[in-house]
């Protein structure tokens, strides 16, 4: 099974969002863009969008770590099932955790089935092949979710950068405008005094 | 116990803002000590649980159980205790001992923790006393300040 590194997508151009996160357009010409808009309103909208993207980013980063942990656990469970299956005609002793810090011994004799805890107070008995199947299916689902979440994360990071650039360009334009207005005002007052 | 006396002298010479800072510091220390007590109680509970679990093992030789291999995988097996358990005594060491000895170990741990809890409790009481002193001095200063202001206003009239 060729494992593609799900993080590779972060280095590609033009990542698309795997789920429906809105994208933001880059303001190429600030003057045109601001012609029919009030600059404070534009500013507020951009800041809002920035905050939303930041929130998305933290949520997605959380999910990535959760999913990575879960994928690792599923892989370990899969390995354990395979090992137990190999020894299914043996009789051996197991030291199991009776309570935290206390272990007790038990004898396992020619096991034919194992029990999987599926959550929500549900436990099922499976044969070794079936248990392997269930765990493999779960792992595939987790892997897929991880891939999509990483893709979304890359997309959101792009949007944050674009929004940042937009904000600074609008802000600089605004500063420039205000300075021009001041200069013009200063010149007008000078002309008035000369008269 | 020169500490409280020392602080008394210092407190009187501090301004209101400085008293506020000292008060916040002491409150933070109390908070941290309370958290320590909680953690100690938590650890103590774990040892109590372990003790009960060991007690439950007595007389169960040969009984069938579901043996946990991980937190979500179990396998059918028979108890093979010989009435002996493996106990984690810390720093990565495990000792095989009889159930009674294991229970004795847990009891001693619980006692140890209880002693620590008592010590921390004492420290908290002392800190609370300090806090009361600070509040008293602060209130005294505030009353004095108000009095001075009232006098100043009267002088202006």
**Residues A153, A68 contacting (CB under 8 angstroms):** no
Q: Is residue B155 included in any domain, yes or no?
A: no
Tell me how many domains chain A contains.
1
* A vs B: CB pairs below 8 A: 103
The alpha-carbon radius of gyration of chain B (Å, integer) is: 28
The answer to whether the Cα torsion of A53, A56, A62, A66 is positive or negative is: negative
The answer to whether the Cβ–Cβ distance between A96 and B57 falls below 8 Å is: no
- Whether B48 shows a pLDDT value over 70: the answer reads yes
pLDDT tens readout for residues B49-67: 999 998 888 878 888 888 8
Q: What is the ipTM of this complex?
A: 0.74
Count of CB atoms situated within 10 Å of the CB of B5: 9
In angstroms, rounded to a whole number, what is the distance separating the alpha carbons of residues B119 and B111? 13
Q: Is residue B72 included in any domain, yes or no?
A: yes
CATH number where A54 lies: 1.10.287.370
Burial code (b: 16+ CB inside 10 Å, e: under 16) for A158-190 equals: bbbebbeebbebbeebbeeeeeeeeeeeeeeee
Q: Is residue A118 included in any domain, yes or no?
A: yes
Q: Report strand pairing: B64-68 vs B73-79.
A: antiparallel
Q: Is residue A195 included in any domain, yes or no?
A: no
Sort out which chain B residues have CB atoms less than 8 A from A142's CB and list them.
none
What pLDDT does A3 receive? Answer: 56
Q: Is residue B88 included in any domain, yes or no?
A: yes
Confidence class of residue B103 from pLDDT cuts 50, 70 and 90? Answer: very high
Sort out which chain A residues have CB atoms less than 8 A from B81's CB and list them.
104-106
Q: Is residue B47 included in any domain, yes or no?
A: yes
What pLDDT does A13 receive? Answer: 67
SS3 per-residue string spanning chain A? CCCCCHHHHHHCCCCCCCCCCCCCCCCCCHHHHHCCCCHHHHHHHHHHHHHHHHHHHHHHHHHHHHHHHHHHHHHHHHHHHHHHHHCCCCEEEEEEEEECCEEEEEEEECCCEEEEEEECCEEEEEEHHHHHHHHHHHHHHHHHHHHHHHHHHHHHHHHHHHHHHHHHHHHHHHHHHHHHHHHHHHHHHHHHHHC
Sort out which chain B residues have CB atoms less than 8 A from A104's CB and list them.
57, 79, 81, 85-86
- Whether B4 shows a pLDDT value over 60: the answer reads no
Confidence class of residue B80 from pLDDT cuts 50, 70 and 90? Answer: confident
Q: Is residue A53 included in any domain, yes or no?
A: yes
Q: What is the pLDDT along chain A (195 residues), one digit of tens a residue?
A: 445 677 777 776 667 777 777 787 787 787 777 777 788 888 888 889 899 999 999 999 999 999 999 999 999 999 999 888 888 888 888 888 888 889 988 888 888 889 998 889 999 999 989 999 999 999 999 999 999 999 889 889 988 998 999 889 888 888 888 899 899 988 888 888 887
Report the chain A residue with the minimal C-alpha distance to residue B45: A100
Q: Is residue A14 included in any domain, yes or no?
A: yes
Quickly tell me which residue has 């720093």 as its tokens. B91
**CA distances in angstroms from A134 to A76, A77, A88, A172, listed in the order given:** 14, 11, 19, 57
Q: Is residue B41 included in any domain, yes or no?
A: yes
- Whether B2 shows a pLDDT value over 60: the answer reads no
Q: Is residue B157 included in any domain, yes or no?
A: no
**Residues A102, B96 contacting (CB under 8 angstroms):** no
Q: Is residue A85 included in any domain, yes or no?
A: yes
Point out the residue among A81, A97, A99 whose CB comes nearest to the CB of B73.
A81
Sort out which chain B residues have CB atoms less than 8 A from A106's CB and list them.
65, 67, 77-81
The answer to whether the Cβ–Cβ distance between B75 and A94 falls below 8 Å is: yes
- Whether B5 shows a pLDDT value over 70: the answer reads no
CATH number where B76 lies: 1.10.287.370
Sort out which chain A residues have CB atoms less than 8 A from B57's CB and list them.
98, 104
Find the domain containing B131 and state its range.
24-148
Confidence class of residue B44 from pLDDT cuts 50, 70 and 90? Answer: very high
Q: Is residue B40 included in any domain, yes or no?
A: yes
Find the domain containing A74 and state its range.
8-138+145-173
Count of CB atoms situated within 10 Å of the CB of B26: 19
Q: Is residue A192 included in any domain, yes or no?
A: no
Q: Which structure tokens are listed for B28?
A: 């933070």
Q: Is residue A30 included in any domain, yes or no?
A: yes
Tell me how many domains chain B contains.
1
In angstroms, rounded to a whole number, what is the distance separating the alpha carbons of residues A12 and A147? 14
Disruptive mutation site among B43, B70, B75 for chain A (greatest number of A CBs within 10 Å): B75
Q: Of residues B38 and B139, which shows the higher confidence score? A: B38
The highest-confidence range among B15-24, B111-120, B128-137, by mean pLDDT, is: B111-120
Q: Report strand pairing: A122-127 vs B93-98.
A: unpaired
What pLDDT does B49 receive? Answer: 93
Point out the residue among A93, A102, A111 whose CB comes nearest to the CB of B102.
A102
């Amino acid at each position: 099974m060729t494992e593609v590194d799900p993080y590779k997508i972060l280095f590609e151009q033009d990542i698309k969002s795997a789920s429906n996160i809105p994208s933001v357009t880059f303001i190429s010409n600030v003057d045109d863009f601001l012609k029919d808009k009030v600059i404070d309103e534009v500013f507020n909208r951009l800041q809002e969008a920035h905050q939303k993207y930041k929130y998305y980013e933290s949520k997605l980063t959380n999910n990535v770590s959760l999913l990575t942990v879960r994928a690792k656990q599923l892989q370990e469970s899969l390995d354990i099932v395979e090992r137990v299956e190999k020894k299914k005609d043996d009789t051996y002793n197991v030291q199991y955790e009776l309570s935290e810090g206390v272990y007790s011994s038990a004898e396992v004799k020619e096991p034919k089935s194992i029990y999987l805890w599926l959550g929500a107070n549900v436990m099922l008995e499976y044969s070794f092949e079936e248990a392997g199947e269930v765990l493999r299916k779960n792992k595939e689902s987790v892997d897929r979710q991880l891939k999509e979440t990483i893709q979304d994360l890359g997309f959101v990071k792009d949007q944050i950068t674009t929004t940042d650039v937009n904000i600074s360009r609008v802000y600089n334009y605004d500063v420039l405008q205000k300075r021009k207005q001041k200069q013009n005002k200063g010149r007008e007052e000078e002309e008035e005094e000369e008269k | 116990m020169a500490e409280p006396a020392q602080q008394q002298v210092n407190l009187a010479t501090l301004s209101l803002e400085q008293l506020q800072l000292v008060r916040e510091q002491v409150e933070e220390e109390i908070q941290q000590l309370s958290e320590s007590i909680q953690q100690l109680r938590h650890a103590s509970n774990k040892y109590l649980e372990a003790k009960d679990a060991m007690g439950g093992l007595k007389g169960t030789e040969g009984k069938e159980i579901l043996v946990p291999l991980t937190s979500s995988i179990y396998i059918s097996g028979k108890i093979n205790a010989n009435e002996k358990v493996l106990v984690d005594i810390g720093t990565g060491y495990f000792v095989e001992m009889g159930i009674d000895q294991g229970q004795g170990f847990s009891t001693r741990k619980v006692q140890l923790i209880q002693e620590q809890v008592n010590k921390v409790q004492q420290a908290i009481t002392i800190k609370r006393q300090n806090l009361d002193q600070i509040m008293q001095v602060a209130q005294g200063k505030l009353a004095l300040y108000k009095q001075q202001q009232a006098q100043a206003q009267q002088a202006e009239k």
